[in-house]
Structure 1
Amino acid sequence: MKTKAVRLYGENDIRLEEFELPEIKDDEILARVISNSICMSTYKAVIQGARHKRVPDDVADNPTITGHEFAGEIVKVGAKWQNQFKAGQKFAIQPALNYKGSPYAPGYSYKYFGGNTEYTIIPPEVMELGYLLDYQGKAFYEASLAEPMSCIIGGYHAVYHTEINNYVHNMGIVEKGKTALMGAAGPMGLGAIDYALHADRCPSLLVVTDIDQDRLNRAAVLFPVKEAASQGVELHFVNTARLDDPTAFLKELTAGTGFDDVFVYAPVKALVEQGDSILGNDGCLNFFAGPTDKKFVAEVNFYNIHYSPTHIMGSTGGNDDDMRESLALSAAGRINPAIMITHVGGIDSAVDTIKNLPEIPGGKKLIYTGIDMELTAIDDFASKAKEDPLFAELTGIIEKNNGLWSAEAERYLLNYKGKK
């Protein structure tokens, strides 16, 4: 079977190619990928090539399929797994395999296993780990975005708090506590706001900071302050660039006590230090942002760590339970991953999208791997509507859904392209 895929050959060398997939073995599964969202981690792998810890040294001779935030339908099941999976079943993948200590993962390390492809071969370790996840939701993009959402959820579960004179770590944010999301009006930050407002454990105070007013304005439209208040959460959006003393202002929102939980969503030295400075007693800072600079450092207050005591930690990725929680919350309509999506395109636009990802404004870029379509900002659909009936119809659908991508939009796009 032939497939079209975006493959990595080395530093800044990715190519859209068509090639033959081998027949699956008895312990493998053949699947059709429907959607893959582009992650900044893919960009990092592309610019580093074989220097990246997940990319094999021989990638130039054995190119790997890019993309790890993907979902689709099972096509063929090897004999070993026929009692557990069936053709036509919708799936999502937990890509953080860590199989027997190996750093290898889909989207970085495998010749035939990744997201930016029409068809993929799922290797046995995925099923052995229980990481081929059944998906019952309406839209494939929700399953694709379950991976970044699981990273967010994992961050919320990874923070911890202690008890005086007891060697105990109580995991998770403080229920009805005070939470700050720093540099959090981007796509991952929006997901973090959504989860904070709609998870089983919510703060009573949620403060979202950024220095981009347009992004803050969009966040405020997606998450109205009044709606949050009706759910028992006092929500604030704060542009710290407009403040003479951001630390004093943020602390004042907590009545001077400081925050229980602080998440830093951008690898900026000043932001880390600001997050540390607003921690309250037993407060925990999660450095969530992944820097590309291996020498990235920031100052923290060790007096507070010793006496308050505050905690500094970091998290990256989520586990299979976080992924299942994400899928369940999406299927139940409690969270809406579409808030992350600002651009939609086809497999033919994936190479340029990955290479130029840091320069493309907005949030998540969603690729439908079985179609060709120029990467297009959802905000630009209306301007294309007069010349293209596809965008004319999609514009109407988007308007009905508060300016967001939706299951209806996905169905229409795939049906329309399927007729061409």
Structure 2
Amino acid sequence: MKAVVCRNGALEVQDVPQPEPGPGNVLLRVLRAGICGSDLHARTHCDATAAVVEEVGYDHFMRSSDSVVMGHEFVGEVVSYGPRCRRRWKPGTRLCALPIIKHGGEVEMVGLSEQAPGAYAEYVEVSEDLAIPVPDGVTDDDAALVEPLAVAHHAVRRSGVGKRDVAVVIGCGPIGLSVILLLKAAGVKTVVAGDYSEKRRELARACGADAVVDPATESPYTAVKQQKRYFTRAGDLFDEAFKALHLLQTIPGMPWRQVVRFADDNGLTPTGPVIFECVGLPGVIDSILTAAPFRSRVTVVGVCMEPDVFRPVMAINKEIDLRFVFGYNPDEFAEVVHLVSKRKVDPSVLVTGTVGLDGAVAAFDALGGAERHAKVLIDPASPVRDLT
């Protein structure tokens, strides 16, 4: 079969052996495969990531010297089954699947390991137990986006954001846009998005962001008016605390529950927005910690594969919560299929281009610029080479 192979940072369409499905696995003919931001990073920074991932117990993450077929966001149709399968679906049934598979008892990351070729190819092998049929009415394009939407769903859940919180999304690439979609699906009333790209700011509006800013000219933390004022300077915080304490002293005998509520309402216990870092480049975390209001909650969704530095004392002084997320749970993946099929999440706006296998290099280059495109899909049956 034909596949896009990555080796030493170069992408090339090659003839490679078609997978033979192993025990418990299914062979799919690929209909669509999404190009993920982590694929862009892995192309050039996989060695540093592989060294870290090996420390946490997985030693097959792609390295630059490997020949890897990437692609972990995909939808395909059933071709054949391996041994010991339940053969739950007829040939031709469309499936999307978690990009995790077992080979010889070893768990592998599909599309991010030489041991588990991904979906930038005509065929891909998946686990039958981790596959989900695509409901009627869900397009191939939308089905291919279930995986990144599941990442966003997991990030929103892990963040602990409430419907009345202000959510700030930094970076409006595919993952940032997906986070916006899932925040609105979760009922969050106020979502602010920030990106330097005008095109991606337009996409953020289309995804439901309530306020969209260019960080070069406006702070996303002051883009919406709040009932409670955010604190960005220690002096302001202390001033409000002294005012609140003074007021408390003028009301002797107040029950402690009312004291807590009164202190919260008067600035003694300020909280900031819930921030989602969706860029994944060095320096972004520190820039967020520097600009974020006191007691913000920061969830890091972007995958930075290079060493990075931030100043803990900045987060300490502001009492900022910093949380990192990875992937998603199987139930979250299945729930996203349901959300898309019921049109509670419409990811179609994310897709800005489709190419064939021969267009993968042009697509990677275009996505590296970030000015015109968000999510580009690969259709192995398409002859398209270039993005317009």
TM-score (structure 2 length as normaliser): 0.76
The structure number with the bigger radius of gyration is 2
The aligned runs of 1:21-60 (5 Å cut-off) are 21=18, 23-48=20-45, 52-53=49-50, 54-56=60-62, 60=66
1:17 aligns with 2:30: no
Listed as ranges, the gaps of 5+ residues in structure 1 are 160-171, 226-234, 378-420
Counterpart in 2 of 1:181? 169
The aligned runs of 1:237-386 (5 Å cut-off) are 237-243=212-218, 246=219, 249-250=222-223, 252-253=225-226, 255-257=228-230, 258-266=271-279, 267=281, 269=283, 272-274=286-288, 277-279=291-293, 281=295, 283-298=296-311, 300-305=314-319, 310-354=320-364, 357-359=367-369, 361=371, 362-377=373-388
Where relative contact order (Cα < 8 A, 6+ residues apart) is larger, the structure is 2
How many residues matched? 335
**Structure 1 residue 176: deviation in Å?**
2.4
Q: What SS class does the counterpart of residue 285 from structure 1 fall into?
A: strand
**Structure 1 residue 340: deviation in Å?**
1.3
Rounded to whole Å, the distance in 2 between the matches of 1:15 and 1:248 is 43
Rounded to whole Å, the distance in 2 between the matches of 1:276 and 1:322 is 32
Q: What SS class does the counterpart of residue 286 from structure 1 fall into?
A: strand
Counterpart in 2 of 1:95? 99
1:118 aligns with 2:105: no
Rounded to whole Å, the distance in 2 between the matches of 1:51 and 1:249 is 37
Residue type of the alignment partner of 2:179: A
The percentage of counterpart residues that share the same residue type is: 19
> Compared with structure 1, are the counterparts of its residues 99 and 79 closer, same or farther at alpha carbon in structure 2 (3 Å cutoff)?
closer
1:210 aligns with 2:195: yes
Listed as ranges, the gaps of 5+ residues in structure 2 are 51-59, 231-270
The aligned runs of 1:217-232 (5 Å cut-off) are 217-220=202-205, 222-223=206-207
**Structure 1 residue 250: deviation in Å?**
4.8
Q: Is the 8 A contact 1:263 1:275 kept in 2?
A: no
> Compared with structure 1, are the counterparts of its residues 56 and 271 closer, same or farther at alpha carbon in structure 2 (3 Å cutoff)?
closer
Q: Is the 8 A contact 2:362 2:385 kept in 1?
A: no
Rounded to whole Å, the distance in 2 between the matches of 1:254 and 1:211 is 28
> Compared with structure 1, are the counterparts of its residues 275 and 203 closer, same or farther at alpha carbon in structure 2 (3 Å cutoff)?
farther
Q: Is the 8 A contact 1:259 1:279 kept in 2?
A: yes
Q: Is the 8 A contact 2:154 2:327 kept in 1?
A: yes
Rounded to whole Å, the distance in 2 between the matches of 1:102 and 1:20 is 21
Rounded to whole Å, the distance in 2 between the matches of 1:223 and 1:284 is 22
Q: Is the 8 A contact 1:96 1:317 kept in 2?
A: no
1:71 aligns with 2:62: no
> Compared with structure 1, are the counterparts of its residues 248 and 17 closer, same or farther at alpha carbon in structure 2 (3 Å cutoff)?
closer
Rounded to whole Å, the distance in 2 between the matches of 1:23 and 1:102 is 17
Residue type of the alignment partner of 1:108: L
